[in-house]
Amino acid sequence: MAQFRILLLAAILMFSGVVVDAYGPGDNGYVGLRDDYYGTSCKDVETVIKKAVQAELAKNLKHAAGVLRMHFHDCFVEGCDASVLLDGPGTEKTAHVNEKLAGYEVIDAAKAAVEEVCPGVVSCADILAYAARDSTVELNGTAWAVQGGRKDGTVSLASRAEAELPPPEFEVSQLIDSFARRGLSVRQMVVLSGSHTVGVGHCDKFVSRLYNFNSTFFTDPTIDPAYATELKNICPQHTFNTTIEVFMDVITPTSAGVFEANYYKTLQEHKGLFTSDQSLFDDTRTKATVTSLLNNERFQKEFGKAMRAMGRVGVKTEGQIRTNCRAVNTY
Ligand code: HEM
Ligand SMILES: *[C@@H]1O[C@H](CO)[C@@H](O)[C@H](O)[C@H]1NC(C)=O
Ligand SMILES: *[C@@H]1O[C@H](CO)[C@@H](O)[C@H](O)[C@H]1NC(C)=O
Ligand SMILES: *[C@@H]1O[C@H](CO)[C@@H](O)[C@H](O)[C@H]1NC(C)=O
């Protein structure tokens, strides 16, 4: 009965033109975020950002995956407040976990273009959220509506990034817990992990699965044996090179990646690169979700909704709108 009432309410809201997300903290007016937030204050902002992002990615399409990951690393540390963009000793970007994070110049270019048309109006946190969407679309992903209204933070600590970002050794229980602390569901966690359909990982992030795995198995038995051999050839024990890039999605291993549901297929084939990937298929709590997301249309649709939910994590209603995304305003 209660469920029926919620469905009825959802139906009424939908027919009245109000956007209702199937899950997440709720879309409408939540911490002041809105679709078309800059509709009157900077009406062309999304077009301006998209053009700047496209021009930057034309120089280096690999930065598309970088920007998508950057938004995640921003939101999970101090909330989505552009804390990841701040330069300086000991800031988040100096953390080991952010060592390979790339594409900051994409955000600089977008910010510069936005300041030309509406100076002092659009936050860096919002620019990063729009740019993450635009980058996904450049890799053939389906677009979603991005909410605006985030303020920029002033705190950025490498130690917080190290402590808050989930490492690749995490298994399902730890992943569920990490996402739940940000109000994100188990399903949203599995959907957002689908980002690993694009981009690359480095040997140091998964060698522990290849050699001296545990007291019973030298190599993680959840890795397809032929794939394990391939990874060992790329990353020799003790002498691996941490600048070598390994495509996370072995089905479509193109230089920048293609944003589609193939990630879930790699998990089914036991070719997930990290424990945090493969365990999603090997755990009863998430296996059925992995299988259902093999459907690309469903994946794309749910990904956009999950990104909207991730984009609401820890959002600040008080704060600044930085002039330079790399530094806090001092005035
Ligand atoms: C579920 C927990 C997650 C873990 C443990 C994790 C871990 C990692 C690791 C270890 C890498 C490779 C880093 C390297 O070797 O340089 C990586 C890359 C990446 N991650 Fe995640 N990640 C997670 C979730 C996410 C989410 C939620 C997103 C985006 C919404 C995301 C987007 C990406 C992208 C796009 C890359 C490729 C970056 C590039 O090629 O430059 N990840 N992730
Ligand atoms: C990109 O998406 C279109 C349709 O949305 C599809 O026809 C095309 O094959 C995709 N390209 C790649 C490289 O996957
Ligand atoms: C080693 O890893 C396998 C696969 O994850 C697991 O089933 C097994 O319990 C582990 N053994 C020990 C001793 O930790
Ligand atoms: C590591 O790999 C990179 C990229 O493939 C290469 O340029 C570099 O020379 C390698 N370094 C060593 C020490 O082999």
* Nearest CA owner, ligand 3 atom 1: 214
What confidence tier does 6 reach under pLDDT thresholds 50, 70, 90? very low
Task: Tell me if residue 263 falls in helix, strand or coil.
Answer: helix
Per-residue pLDDT at 31: 67
Give the CA angle between residues 201, 204, 208 to the nearest 5°. Answer: 110
Quick one: angle between helices 63-75 and 124-138, nearest 10? Answer: 140
CA distance 40 to 152: 20
Per-residue pLDDT at 288: 98
* pLDDT exceeds 90 at position 109: yes
Q: Indicate the pairing of strand 200-202 with strand 147-148.
A: unpaired
Could you tell me if the CB of 218 is within 6 A of ligand 3? Answer: no
Q: How far is CA 37 from the centre of its chain?
A: 22
| Ligand 3 atom nearest to 217, measured from its CA | 1
Instruction: Give the other-Cβ count within 10 Å of 207's Cβ.
Output: 19
Per-residue pLDDT at 255: 84
User: Architecture of 172-309 per CATH?
Assistant: Orthogonal Bundle (1.10)
Could you tell me if the CB of 51 is within 6 A of ligand 1? Answer: no
Cβ atoms of residues 308 and 144 within 8 Å: yes
Minimum mean pLDDT among 5-14, 153-162, 252-261: which range?
5-14
| % of the chain beyond a pLDDT of 70 | 91
| % of the chain beyond a pLDDT of 90 | 88
Mean pLDDT of 182-189: 97
pTM: 0.92
- Residue 198's DSSP bridge partners are 257
Question: Which among 71, 73, 202, 238 is annotated as catalytic?
Answer: 73
Instruction: Tell me how far the alpha carbon of residue 240 lies from the centroid of ligand 4, in angstroms.
Output: 10
Q: Give tens-digit pLDDT for 57-78.
A: 999 999 999 999 999 999 999 9
Lookup: tokens for 127: 């620019």
Could you tell me if the CB of 72 is within 6 A of ligand 1? Answer: yes
Is 79 assigned to a binding site?
Answer: yes
* Nearest CA owner, ligand 2 atom 10: 140
Q: Give tens-digit pLDDT for 213-270.
A: 999 999 999 999 999 999 999 999 999 999 999 999 999 888 889 999 999 999 999 9
Is 257 assigned to a binding site?
Answer: no
Could you tell me if the CB of 216 is within 6 A of ligand 3? Answer: yes
Instruction: Give the other-Cβ count within 10 Å of 32's Cβ.
Output: 14
Ligand nearest 63 Cα, by number? 1
Is 83 assigned to a binding site?
Answer: yes
Per-residue pLDDT at 10: 43
Could you tell me if the CB of 208 is within 6 A of ligand 3? Answer: no
Mean pLDDT of 191-200: 98
Mean pLDDT of 189-213: 98
Residue spans per domain, the chain = 172-309
Cβ atoms of residues 196 and 263 within 8 Å: yes
